[in-house]
Every structure is written in structure tokens, then in C-alpha cells.
Amino acid sequence: MKCSIEGNHVKAFGKAIHALARIGEDLWLDPLEKGLALRAVNSAHSAYACFLFSPLFFQHYSPRLSTQTLGTPVKCQLAMKSILPLFRCLATIERNVNRCEISISSDENWVVFQFYCRHGIIKTHNLSFQESEALQAVFPTNLCPNVLKAQAKLLGDIARHFPTSQEEVTLAISPVRVTLKNYYEEECDRAMYTEMSLHPDEFDYYQVGIDSHITFCLKELRGLLSFAESHGLPVCVHFGPSGKPVSFSLDDMPLTATVVLATLEERTSDPPSQTGPAQTGPTYRWVPRMCPPYPVHPPSTVHRPPCGGAPSAPASASPAAHDGPHESPVLAEDRVLSSQASPVFSAAFHLRKLLDLQNPSPPWEEAVPTHNTDAEAAAAAATATTPSNNQTTAIEDMEAESICATTKMAANTIPATPLAAKVMRP
């Protein structure tokens, strides 16, 4: 391959090498029929850049095929630190260099750069290369839903608002504005946060397919923005959702440039539970109620010991049925059917509660109706005399039978008079 560059195009060629030096440490020279391609890829394979100079860019361009493999062009890999010093001072090149010739010798593995300077001075640089295949980024820009096109000066002014040490920025787009702000992986109190918004009218072309925000590396993009601003070329941006690549491209008649950058994938929250919501419907709620030490009904469940002993709970009752304030579930007719667990008025429940409040008998007392003269006589006889041990046992048995019978009668027949005489049990 042999080509010749004249005039200001030498500076443009050197500016492209400066932009590629921000991407990777190696430079690939790929002579093609459609022009000379310069490529660079970073070590993490997260950034790719390509400058394609068409034959119109050169004064003379002839791609030479390799003599070793017929039909295969030479693809040489150069170290960036070896070629960058040749174009380090672009102002000096613009002032002193008239023409630059580049030739590739596949037999000797040399790339020859000759600078024809003023006053007949010729500078020749022989750089060794390694033949290897360059990586290429396959990114169909026509499938991107979001497209922006702006002048290079606008994007250059935006980049200058961020410090040179800023590595990553976030770009968010919506139908009404474009927002750019700096990005830090970890929050820092001493960091300077910058955010700016742009109206869609400031862009030459504005297409929004989806609302998205992407985070990419700004340091690897500054070279392309500087190249575009120095030549007054518009920059076109193609991107989609976060996690997908973003492409910055320049398209001019003598050359095209493309920089493809990886973006950070948005952190997603934990996936929602696959279980459906709990079914809401009518539920049964057991409403506790306060009851006396001995339940009023059914009377058959009350087991009364002989006089003088402690009352015993029925066999079916729970152990904590008579501890403290007594609470027990209501009966079947008091069951409340409600989805909101709201109380429902029950006439039977409140009637039993009123009857229980009228006769609050402690465990050691028993309510006896006033009209029961037999119980009064038995109680008076028990308190008037002091019998012997055998007589006391007989009297207690008789008294227990009388009181149990009286209790059953009181449960079945409610007395008309609420007043009751209380008899102390010895």
C-alpha cells in the first residue's frame, strides 16, 4: 500500500491518530479498496473507534495486495506509543510539512512515514508492525430508536462543562428535553455534580423512540469531539435503552468516523413475587365475650362439688377457662360474617350479658331465689347448731343436693324478682 497526503490533510490525519490514542494502545492500518481505515480498541473491549479515509482524501492512493496471500490486503498492527510522536505537535506539522507519504512493505514488515518539509528537508520514520486482524464492532445504527444530530461546537461546549478528570456521564432523553450529568459509582461529599438540560430546538435532528438514560465514558469520546469541532462537522448519536451500545459518528465526503461505546446496564430491583394476591372474601371472626365464673347455660355442663369444696370445671373446658377475666367464643348464632371484621348487634348475646351482670356471683357464693324457703331453712339450721363430725358430713351432703337442685331450677325458671339472697357456704 502506498498513499500521499498533502497540505492541511496531514494535520487532519494526525488529529485522527490523536483521537484514536484516547481509545487504545494499538493502531491498526487496514488498506481497503474504499479507503484507508484506522482502527483502535481498548483493552476491555468496551470502546471501538474507526476512521475511514476515502481515496478522495489522498493525493495518491493505491492499496497493494500482499504477495504472500493473494487477494488479502495487509493488516498491520502498530504500537500507539511508536506512531503518536510523529504527529504530536500538529501546529508544527501544519506550518512546516508540505506532504506526507505512507507505504507498507509486507516483505520487510515496515511501515514507512516520509515527511517532506520546507527547505527541502525529508524526514523518514520506519516503524515495525505485526500483521494481525483488527476487531470490528457490529452495531446496526438503523435499528436504534433514539437519534440526535448536533453541531460539534454545541457538544464541545457541553463536554467542557465537565472536568477533564470526569470519566463517565449520563445522558437522559425525553420528548421535551435532553439532560446530561456526571456519574459516580460511589457517592462522594467532595465531588462536584454538574447537570445541564437542552431543548430539542438546539439539535439539528431530534428523534425519540423511547425514554431512556445511558451512562458512557466521556474520556474516550473527547478525541472525536475535538476532531469534529476542529473541522466543523456535525455529530450524529444513535442509542437505545441502557445496557445497549451508543454510537457517535461523523459523515463527510472525504472521511467517516465512528466511535462505539458500551453503556452501563441499569440496576433492576428484585423481581416481584410470583404468588398472586390473597383472595378477599367473607371471613368468619370469633368475637370474645365476658362471662361470669359459672356459665349460665347450658346448666348441665356445671359440675358442683359438695359444699365447702372448690368448684370444678367441666371436662370439655380448657384449662384457662376460669383464669382472670373469662372470655369464651360466642355460640353459633353469634358468629359474625364480615369481610371487614366489624361488630354486629346480637340480641341473644346482649340479653345473656345483661342477665349475667344482674347476678355477679363469686366462686364461693351461690345466688338463691328469695321464694325458696327450703334453702333458707337448711341454711338457718346449718348456722344455728354445731353438729358432730358425722352429722356435719350428713348435713353437707343434704345441703349439696339441695343447692344443686335449686341451681337447676333457677337456670330453667328465671325469677320475676331480680333481688337474691346470698348464703355464705361454711
45 lies in the same domain as 132? yes
Identify the residue with better confidence: 298 or 233. 233
pLDDT at res. 306? 47
Strand-pairing partners, residue 62, are 2
Mean pLDDT computed over 151-165? 91
**Of the residues 137, 171, 192, which one is the last residue of a structural domain?**
137
Q: Please indicate, yes or no, if residue 132 is contained in any of the structural domains.
A: yes
Domain end among 212, 244, 276: 244
pLDDT band at 187 (very low <50, low <70, confident <90, very high): confident
Predicted confidence (pLDDT) per residue in 103-131, tens digit? 988 777 889 999 999 999 999 999 999 88
**Cβ pair 246, 263 in contact under 8 A:** yes
pLDDT band at 227 (very low <50, low <70, confident <90, very high): very high
Q: What percent of the chain has pLDDT over 90?
A: 44
Beta bridge partners of 288: 329
Mean per-residue pLDDT, 366-385 = 51
For residue 298, cis peptide bond before it (omega within 30 degrees of 0) = yes
pTM, two decimals, is 0.61
Angstrom CA distances, 255 to 44, 58, 162, stand at 27, 11, 29
| 415 and 293 in a common domain | yes
Number of domains in the chain: 3
- N residues, the chain: 426
Which CATH number does the domain housing residue 90 bear?
3.70.10.10
Residue 400 is part of which domain span?
284-424
Residues 6+ apart with CB under 8 A from 397: 306
pLDDT band at 214 (very low <50, low <70, confident <90, very high): very high
Please determine, for residue 338, whether its predicted confidence score (pLDDT) is greater than 70. no
pLDDT tens digits along 271-314: 443 433 433 333 333 333 344 444 444 444 444 444 444 444 44
